[in-house]
Amino acid sequence: MSHATHADHGHDHHHGPATLKDGLWPWMMRWISTTNHKDLGTLYLCFAFLMFFIGGLMSLVIRAELFQPGMQLVQPEFFNQMTTMHALVMIFGGVMPAFVGLANWMVPLMIGAGDLALPRVNNWGFWLLPFAFALLLSTLFMDGGAPAGGWTMYPPLVLQTGDAFPFLIFAVHLMGVSSITGSINVAVTILNMRAPGMTLLKMPLFVWTWLITAYLLIATMPVLAGAVTMLLTDRYFGTSFFNAAGGGDPVMFQHIFWFFGHPEVYILILPAFGVVSMIIPTFARKPLFGYSSMVYATASIAFLSFIVWAHHMFTVGMPLAGELFFMFSTMLIAVPTGVKVFNWIATMWRGSMTFETPMLFAVGFVILFTIGGFSGLMLAIAPADFQYHDTYFVVAHFHYVLVPGAVFAIIAGVYYWVPKWTGVMYNEKLGQFHFWWSAFWINVTFFPQHFSGLAGMPRRIPDYAVQFTDFNVISSVGAFAFFFGQFVFIYIMIQCMRGKGEKATDRVWEGAHGLEWTVPSPAPYHTFETPPKVEESETPAHA
């Protein structure tokens, strides 16, 4: 017995993760060579927050220039670089890696698996990202500057990019490889490594939404890779895929891009649905309403996302039949999305609610995402879209679904799970302050953009006519206030990582159910080395 204890002790000492106390080099090598899903989850999340910060700074350049009419700060060329890079950094560097980070941490804990199925692929998938973004961000210092043709990379404009062009293409390739490895890993883990008794329809909704997201990624990322490769050969090898003069078609790029791009929209939002579907039942102390319809609604949205792409292109001059088809199919998405919102509200109905920070962000998500959904429905109406198209109305719409949508869900998830990760509770008062500050200013930033868009202000312009001034002033003030409020979040997280705060219990939240809450807080470096027994009370539809 004493021998066994001794061996265990030695085991912990040798195989535990290296910390800074072991020296800088071993600590660095731990993070570089780690195959542990928790380490990689942390790396993904830290990387995503760095990118959110960089992308946020770019948005401040945009908002500062747009603070009032006239060109005060930058050249139009640089402004276009900022809008392009802001989008690429936020989408591929911020939101996507943040959700992969949450999946890394939580999917194995939720299904009772010891790690992801392919740990070394997991390491590779993450470490591609710093290289991808080093390539992309280095273009800011090149001849001709960073890509300035918009994140959608429409030819022929994107072909006018300077030295940055091949760097843009290869950065997108690397991001795509990283996403594909990450999603294959998540899908394989979910399908093969669930604890006995964790049947598919007992999986937590976050796991379900990620499984579906993984398939969307696997299906569409190669399409994007193909499209950008054709751009590359058009530019350097004399092909004419998208050059009408050589028999190609510039509109074909848009079709291919949006065949990727529309599922991509759901790649950014489905995991958010999952996070919110975990948080609301916990703080309502009531099981999720309509679990199976939530799963089917997610699957329906994923299916529909493949047949609506051309609603991004109503003004390219499609035949009437095409416009009608894409209008109707797009409107149809409102049905499953509505089901989700109604289910969240039915979950809250007659619950016993408390409003800790994760719940605040989740409720904020439901309301503000739904506002983005309404403007989305308006955009689906093709004749009206001719008015909205490429104006600030669109900017307001997608920022509503992405910032108080996807980003709020990420923040909600981090507050919800950080006690499990670090073993300490975050500062609740500061957390609530962070929510109210963010929720207020994000609306100040983006709500007025609906009005400037309806009044006809085009997107992606560095300067504007004087009648758009008021809404732009308000929007800029909101953006700066929102950005600086996020330092509160950074402070709260640093305090948690340093272990400062009230000790968290294993269950953490009174109403929490699920396997992730059955392991100690902080979660040990290795969990579920032997599969757990799945109790009925730890599954979503528990009675």
Q: Quick one: which of 16, 26, 222, 456 contacts another protein (CB under 8 A)?
A: 456
Q: Which of 235, 255, 460, 526 binds another protein (CB under 8 A)?
A: 460
Q: How many CB atoms sit inside 10 A of residue 95's CB?
A: 26
Nearest-5° angle of CA 156, CA 160, CA 164? 125
Minimum gap (Å) between residue 338 Cβ and another protein: 5
Near another protein by CB under 8 A: residue from 50, 140, 157, 219: 157
Q: Measured in Å, how far apart are the chain's first and last C-alpha atoms? A: 42
* 255 near another protein, rule: CB under 8 A: no
Q: What are phi and psi of 346, to 5 degrees?
A: -65, -30
Q: Which is nearer to another protein, 33 or 387 (CB)?
A: 387
Q: Which is nearer to another protein, 74 or 218 (CB)?
A: 74
Active site residues: 86, 115, 151, 178-179, 262, 264, 266, 277, 311-312, 337, 340, 459
Per-residue exposure over 244-258, b if at least 16 CB sit within 10 Å of its own CB, e if not: eeeebebbebbbbbb
Closest CA to 406 of 272, 305, 278: 272
Given the complex with another protein, which of 338 and 522 has the nearer CB atom? 338
Which residues in the 385-414 window bind another protein by CB under 8 A?
386-387, 389-391
Task: Compute the least distance from the CB of residue 80 to another protein, in Å.
Answer: 7
Q: Which stretch binds another protein (CB under 8 A): 195-203, 208-216, 324-332, 431-439?
A: 324-332
Sign of torsion over alpha carbons 22, 28, 33, 35: positive
Closest CA to 449 of 398, 383, 385, 379: 398
Contact 167, 499 (CB under 8 A): no
- Check binding of 349 to another protein (CB under 8 A): yes
Question: Footprint of another protein on residues 278-297 (CB under 8 A)?
Answer: 284-291, 293
Footprint of another protein on 351-390 (CB under 8 A)? 351-355, 363, 366-367, 370-371, 374, 377-378, 381-384, 386-387, 389-390
Binding test (CB under 8 A) with another protein, winner from 215, 306, 342, 440:
342
- Out of 20, 29, 134, 541, the only residue in the binding site for another protein (CB under 8 A) is 541
| Nearest Cα to Cα of residue 496 among 414, 430, 434, 418 | 418
Residues of this chain, 300-319, that bind another protein according to CB under 8 A: 315-317
CB of 77 to another protein, least distance (A): 5
User: Minimum distance from CB of 151 to another protein (Å)?
Assistant: 10
Residue 518 is classified by DSSP as S
d(CA 264, CA 258): 9
In the complex, what is the shortest distance from the CB of residue 346 to another protein, in angstroms, rounded to a whole number? 7
Residues of this chain, 158-177, that bind another protein according to CB under 8 A: 160, 162
Interaction between residue 201 and another protein (CB under 8 A): no
- Is 339 or 411 the residue whose CB approaches another protein more closely? 339
465 touches another protein (CB under 8 A): yes
Q: Report the residue from 338, 433, 437, 495 that binds another protein according to the rule CB under 8 A.
A: 338
Binding to another protein by residue 442, rule CB under 8 A?
Answer: no
Using CA atoms, how far residue 344 sits from 81, 270, 284, 413, 439, in Å, is: 39, 14, 10, 16, 19
Closest contact distance (angstroms) between CB of 378 and another protein is: 5
Q: How many residues bind another protein (CB under 8 A)?
A: 102
305 in Cβ contact with 330 (< 8 Å): no
209 vs 186, 261, 274, 275, 302, CA distance in Å? 11, 18, 5, 9, 10
Quick one: DSSP state of residue 18?
P
Stretch that binds another protein, among 7-15, 16-24, 326-334, 484-492 (CB under 8 A): 326-334
CB of 249 to another protein, least distance (A): 8
Helix (H) or strand (E) holding 273: helix 250-284
What are all long-range contacts of 156-162, with beta carbons under 8 Å and residues at least 24 apart? 156/242, 156/243, 156/250, 158/231, 159/231, 159/234, 159/235
Give the shortest CB-97-to-another protein separation in angstroms. 26
What residue type is assigned to position 399 of the chain?
H
**Residues 130-149 interacting with another protein (rule: CB under 8 A):** 143-145, 148-149
| Interface positions, 27-86, toward another protein (CB under 8 A) | 67-77, 80
DSSP assignments along 141-158, one per residue: GSTT-S--STTTT-TTGG
